[in-house]
A and B are shown apart, each in its own frame.
Chain A
Amino acid sequence: MIFGLSIAFWITALFTVAGALAAALLKNLVHCALSLTVTFAGLAILFLQLDAQFAGFAQMLVYIGAVAILVVFAILLTRGAGAPEYRIYTSSWLAGIAIAAAVFALLAWSVITSLPAGAGSAAPDVTVLSIGQALMSTYVLPLEIVAVVLTVALIGAVIVAMHDKGDAKTHEQKGGAQ
Chain B
Amino acid sequence: MLGEGIVKGLAETAKNFAGSFVSKERLTTVQYPEERVEPIENTRDFPFLVYDGSDPMAGLRCVACQICEKECPPKCIYITKSTDKKPDYVGKPQIYPARFDIDISVCMSCQICVEVCPFEAIKMDTEFELSTTDRFEGLILDREQLAKSNEYYNKIHPTEAAEVDARLAEEKAKVEAKAKAAAAAAAAKAAAPASGETTAKPAPQKDPAKEPGA
Establish whether A and B are touching in the complex (CB under 8 Å).
no
